[in-house]
Amino acid sequence: MSEQSASDCFFCAIGSGAAGIPFVAERKTVVAFRDISPQAPTHVLVIPKDHYRDVPSLAAAAPQVLADLVEVGRLVAEAETGGEFRLVFNTGAGVGQSVFHVHGHVLGGRPFSWPPG
């Protein structure tokens, strides 16, 4: 899949509210919503409202937004899984990033093994 720009990014439409996807949580800089193909009882995506390609880009350009993203992930997990969760960021197509708008996967509600994959 080719990389999206902000103008053709579905996650930007979600973050702005234009896509009509219900939010699990919303803050000034980030939103959280349920994954359409859940891999665990709790599988929520947390995204910045503004477009950043991946987590290193977000960390370099807007570290406070990354902190907000992690905090919202923690709050969702606290409410849904008792605070035990995995927070996953994929960076690059070769490791599974299919939408090139940074998103953290909040996964929980079942046991996980290590290593993943």
CB proximity list for 107: less than 8 A, separation 6 or greater: 39, 40, 42, 43, 85, 86, 87, 88
Concatenated DSSP letters of 21-47: PPPSEE-SSEEEEE-SS-SSSEEEEEE
Q: Which of 1, 5, 6, 15 is nearest to 68 (CA)?
A: 15
Q: Which of 43, 51, 101, 103 is catalytic?
A: 103
Quick check: is 103 catalytic? yes
Q: Count H helices and E strands in the chain, helices first.
A: 3, 5
Looking at the annotation, which residues are catalytic?
Answer: 103
